[in-house]
C-alpha cells in the first residue's frame, strides 16, 4: 500500500498561497465561492464601487448568484487591479473576454512572478486570439506562469454546492498541485491536464455549439436530433483542436465532452439560451440585448469560423451558426440544410 504523502503546514499550498479573483459576474462569484472553502482570505477585484459596497453591505453579489453568501472576513474587496495583483500569488481572470483588455491595461505593478489562471471562455477581440496567447504576447506571461480552468461547471450549481468537476490545465506540476489544493472541496473535484490550449479552445468551441443546440430547440427539434447534433459537435471539436494544436488528448474526457454536454443541454447555459431565442424568431441583436449576461459563443463564432476557413476545415455546425449570427441567414433554412450533413 502506498504511503500517504505528509504535507507540513509550512508547505501546504492552502496555507501559503494568496489568491485573487478579477471579475464580478456569475462565474467569478462562483470561483470566489470555491476558494473561500480553503483560503483564509480571498482577494476580489470587482468592476465598480457600487458592487464592492453592495457586497460589503449584504454579503453577496447584488447582481449574480445572489444566493451565494460570504463571510466578509474571508473577503478583501477592491476595484483596483494593481492592489489585487500586488497582494496575490495567483490571479484568476474571470471577466468576459470582451472586457479583459480594458481590465489588464490598468495593470502597472510587477506581475513577473505571478500565476495567472484563465477562467475566461472566449476570444479576446483586440487580438482575435485566446487568453493564453494574449497573456504571452501582450504581457510576456509565459505558459509556465499560466493555467486554464475548464468545466463542466455551471456557476449556479456551484452556488448551490452541488457536486461539480474542474479541470485545471497547466504545464507545471508544482503549479497544478497548488491550484488543486486551493480549488478542491467537498463539492468541487479537480483534475489536472497539461493541454492548456486544447482546454481553452474546447471551452470556446462548446459555447458556439451550445448556441446551435439552443437554436435547434427554439426551432422545435427534439432530443433525438440534439443527440446527433452533439455527437457531431464533439467530432468537429476534435478536428479543430488537432488542426490548431496537436497534443495527447482524449476529447471524451470531461473537460471536452463533459463541458460540451452540460453547455448544450443545461437551462443554465447562457449560450444555449441565446440560441433558443434566435430559434424562436428573435433577431440576433434583440436576443443579445435581452440577456443580462455575456454569451461568449457569439463573439467567438466569428473568430473560430475564420480560423477554420484559413485551415480549410469542414465544420458544418460552426459554418451554420456563423451564417445565422453574422450573415443574417434564416435559422430554419440553415438548420434544414444542416440536417442533411449530420450523421
Q: What is the pLDDT of residues 71-112, one digit of tens each?
A: 999 999 999 999 999 999 999 999 999 999 999 999 999 999
Give the integer Cα–Cα distance in Å for 101 and 333.
Answer: 37
Phi, psi values for residue 244, rounded to 5°: -80, -45
pLDDT reading at 138 higher than 90? yes
pLDDT digits (tens, 9 = 90+) for 228-240: 999 999 999 999 9
Range of weakest confidence among 10-24, 150-164, 268-282: 10-24
* Residue 151: per-residue pLDDT: 84
Alpha-carbon 194 to chain mean position: 17
* Residue 7: per-residue pLDDT: 34
Give the integer Cα–Cα distance in Å for 327 and 330.
Answer: 9
* Residue 1: per-residue pLDDT: 38
Closest CA to 260 of 237, 276, 243, 242: 237
Can you list the alpha helix ranges (DSSP code H) found in 36-130? 49-58, 81-87, 97-104
pLDDT digits (tens, 9 = 90+) for 57-72: 999 999 888 888 999 9
* Sign (positive or negative) of CA dihedral 92, 149, 241, 96: negative
pLDDT reading at 250 higher than 70? yes
pLDDT reading at 317 higher than 60? yes
Q: Given this structure, which CATH class describes domain 19-194?
A: alpha beta
Within 8 A by CB and 6+ apart from 188, the residues are: 34, 37, 153, 158, 164, 165, 166
The domain spans of the chain are 19-194, 198-340
* Residue 248: per-residue pLDDT: 86
Round the average pLDDT of the chain to a whole number and report it.
Answer: 91
Radius of gyration, CA atoms only, the chain: 20
Q: What percent of the chain has pLDDT over 90?
A: 83
Tell which wins on pLDDT, 168 or 5. Answer: 168
Burial 10-29 (b: 16+ CB within 10 A, else e): eeebbeebbbbbbbbbbbbb
Domain 198-340 has CATH 1.10.1040.10: yes
Phi, psi values for residue 92, rounded to 5°: -95, 120
* Residue 334: per-residue pLDDT: 97
Give the integer Cα–Cα distance in Å for 148 and 117.
Answer: 5
* Residue 13: per-residue pLDDT: 46
* Residue 6: per-residue pLDDT: 36
Q: Which residues are catalytic?
A: 206
Return binding residues.
121, 155, 270-271
* Sign (positive or negative) of CA dihedral 20, 100, 65, 213: negative
Maximum distance among all Cα pairs of the chain, rounded to whole angstroms: 63
Return binding residues for NAD(+).
155, 270
Q: How confident is the model at residue 165 (pLDDT cuts 50, 70, 90)?
A: very high
Quickly count: other Cβ atoms within 10 Å of residue 5's Cβ: 5
Q: How confident is the model at residue 4 (pLDDT cuts 50, 70, 90)?
A: very low
Can you list the alpha helix ranges (DSSP code H) found in the chain? 13-16, 26-35, 49-58, 81-87, 97-104, 131-139, 155-159, 173-183, 196-219, 223-244, 259-265, 270-279, 284-289, 296-310, 316-326, 331-339
Q: How confident is the model at residue 245 (pLDDT cuts 50, 70, 90)?
A: confident
Question: Would you give the DSSP letter of residue 254?
Answer: I
Return binding residues for substrate.
121, 270-271
Average pLDDT over residues 176-202: 94
Contact 234, 265 (CB under 8 A): no
pLDDT reading at 15 higher than 70? no
* Residue 2: per-residue pLDDT: 38
Range of weakest confidence among 9-18, 40-49, 158-167, 194-203: 9-18
Amino acid at each position: 500500500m502506498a504511503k500517504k504523502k505528509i504535507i507540513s503546514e509550512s508547505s501546504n499550498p492552502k496555507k501559503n498561497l494568496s489568491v485573487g479573483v478579477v471579475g464580478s459576474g456569475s462565474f467569478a462569484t462562483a470561483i470566489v465561492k470555491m476558494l473561500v472553502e480553503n483560503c483564509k482570505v480571498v482577494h476580489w477585484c470587482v468592476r465598480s464601487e457600487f458592487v464592492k459596497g453592495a457586497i460589503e453591505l449584504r454579503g453577496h453579489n447584488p447582481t449574480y448568484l445572489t444566493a451565494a453568501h460570504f463571510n466578509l472576513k474571508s473577503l478583501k474587496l477592491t476595484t483596483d487591479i494593481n492592489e489585487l495583483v500586488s497582494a496575490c500569488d495567483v490571479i484568476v481572470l474571470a471577466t468576459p473576454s470582451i472586457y479583459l483588455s480594458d481590465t489588464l491595461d490598468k495593470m502597472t505593478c510587477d506581475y513577473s512572478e505571478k500565476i495567472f489562471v484563465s477562467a475566461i471562455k472566449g476570444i479576446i477581440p483586440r487580438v482575435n486570439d485566446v487568453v493564453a496567447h494574449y497573456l504571452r504576447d501582450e504581457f510576456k506571461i509565459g505558459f509556465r506562469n499560466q493555467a486554464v480552468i475548464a468545466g463542466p461547471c455551471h456557476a449556479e450549481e456551484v452556488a448551490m454546492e452541488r457536486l461539480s468537476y474542474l479541470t485545471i490545465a497547466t504545464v507545471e506540476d508544482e503549479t497544478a498541485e497548488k491550484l488543486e489544493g486551493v480549488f478542491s472541496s467537498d463539492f468541487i473535484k479537480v483534475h489536472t491536464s497539461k493541454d492548456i490550449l486544447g482546454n481553452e479552445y474546447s471551452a470556446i468551441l462548446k459555447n458556439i455549439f451550445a448556441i446551435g443546440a439552443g437554436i435547434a430547440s427554439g426551432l422545435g427539434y427534439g432530443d433525438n436530433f440534439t443527440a446527433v447534433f452533439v455527437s457531431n459537435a464533439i467530432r468537429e471539436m476534435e478536428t479543430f483542436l488537432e488542426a490548431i494544436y496537436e497534443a495527447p488528448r482524449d476529447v471524451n474526457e470531461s473537460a471536452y465532452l463533459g463541458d460540451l454536454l452540460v453547455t448544450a443541454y443545461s437551462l443554465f447555459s447562457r449560450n444555449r439560451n441565446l440560441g433558443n431565442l434566435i430559434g424562436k424568431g428573435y433577431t440576433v441583436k434583440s436576443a443579445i440585448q435581452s440577456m443580462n449576461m455575456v454569451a461568449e459563443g457569439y463573439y467567438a463564432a466569428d473568430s473560430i469560423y475564420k480560423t477554420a476557413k484559413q485551415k480549410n476545415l469542414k465544420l458544418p455546425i460552426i459554418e451554420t451558426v456563423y451564417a445565422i449570427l453574422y450573415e443574417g441567414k434564416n435559422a430554419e433554412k440553415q438548420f434544414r440544410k444542416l440536417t442533411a450533413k449530420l450523421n
